[in-house]
Amino acid sequence: MGQDLERTLGICLLGHGTVGSGVVKVIDQQNELLRKRTGIRFEIRHVVDREVAKKRALGIVLADGRPLPLTDNAAAAIDDPATQVVIELFGGINAAKEYIERALNLGKPVVTANKGLLAGHGASLFDLARRHNTCIGFEASCGGGIPIINALINGLAANRIDALLGIVNGTCNFILTQMTRQHWSYVDALKAAQTAGFAEADPTLDVSGRDAAQKLAVLGSLAFNVRIAEADIHVEGIDKLDAADIQFADQLGYVIKLLAIGERQRDNSSAPQANSALILRVHPTLVHKDNVLADVAGSFNAISVYGHALGHALFYGRGAGSMPTASAIVADLIGIGLGTLPAAFRQMRVFPDTTPPAEVVPFEQLVSRYYLRLAARDEPGTLAQVARILGEHAISVSAIHQHESDSRQIVPVVITTHLANEGAMQAARRRIDALPSITPPTVCLRIIEEPREFAGA
């Protein structure tokens, strides 16, 4: 590439934490490689951090000999004419939104990993960017370093996406992996995740399922060409999951994963269409060991996408961490520098400010297979009563497994079903829990059936 085509892109980085330090490292250490590949020299002009004195004491020096250009004045750093792109890594909502809006109002492109902000305010922020002829890059918001955003916007643009499902929270996947392989309790697995740096001191956002729901809102909006809000998604976390259910699932040939699932509604008479209503959910799910998602371990993420033309594609990689996430952020920087990301933003009608609200199927209308675990008194007629209640709600039993117990009074009974209606299942569960011979609550988990490739192609 000729020297006359080269230029410099000035960067303002908001936040020098785990991910921000990774961004600095990638840009600083790989700047020459990036310049050779793109013809752009990426220059870090401001690093905004709340603990400037502490960071300066570290004595960080860039490859060109400059000290890390630290400041605590975000507004001045954003406003600086030498700042041409702003990377937001503060996290949270209010301050991040304020600074992103400030940059967009100045016509400066923004790169962010803030899936919570995008899930809650994406439509208004994208609209603001469009009105000021700029753009937002958000590859790092979902899946860490996995290039799933670019795939949905560009690589899979020829496809009607019928289903998107996967493991999008590395913290929960690490915890479930330890519970499965080490036979640990949830509490012990969570402590290990915190010690390893995969879980926050307050892990609520992750283990409640909300983090996965926010990512599903972002990914689903792109995949299905609609605007999805976090409130559209049924959410259950792993914080109440019992290790006994992981063991019983293993005996049945399944592993339990926290899955984010978005799929078009279908029935027996027709394949899903582009305007089909959506079923959106996040919950612990029994995944058969033959499914590739069952082998995704530790903090890795994996997202399955089903397109009417492509069929099944799996995107797998590290879902978090300093360098993987920095990889995605720098990819957006390159897209901005080359003009490909702004061009796609101007032309593509897949962003939530340009798409209609999603038509969402009420969760009670979900059709799924189910896993039930009952704590039943060991006395004649109990299972007959349970089977009768299920039958009265049109729920067909696939298998019943009664396990021995140290107690002569209460035994665990595991039931799997054929396809059944969610509303009917919950009504049946309430009646089962009301039986004198049952100790509530009955555990109810869903069993995923892999979507069919080329449905209605």
Instruction: Supply the residues annotated as catalytic.
Output: 215
Sign for the CA dihedral angle at 240, 449, 174, 318 comes to negative
Contacts of 47 (CB under 8 A, 6+ apart): 13, 16, 20, 24, 55, 68, 69, 70, 71
370 and 425 Cβ atoms separated by less than 8 Å: yes
Q: Please write down the HEC assignment for all residues of the chain.
A: CCHHHCEEEEEEEECCCHHHHHHHHHHHHCHHHHHHHHCEEEEEEEEECCCHHHHHCCCCECCCCCECCEECCHHHHHHCCCCCEEEECCCCCHHHHHHHHHHHHCCCCEEECCHHHHHHHHHHHHHHHHHCCCCEECHHHCCCCCCHHHHHHHHCCCCCEEEEEEECCHHHHHHHHHHHHCCCCHHHHHHHHHHCCCCCCCCHHHHCCHHHHHHHHHHHHHHHCCECCHHHCEECCCCCCCHHHHHHHHHCCEEEEEEEEEEECCECCECCCCCCCEEEEEEEEEEECCCHHHHCCCCEEEEEEEECCCEEEEEEEECCCHHHHHHHHHHHHHHHHHCHHHHHHHHCCCCCCCCCECCECCHHHCEEEEEEEEEEECCCCHHHHHHHHHHHCCCCEEEEEECCCCCCCEEEEEEEECCEEHHHHHHHHHHHHCCCCECCCCEEEEECCCCCCCCCC
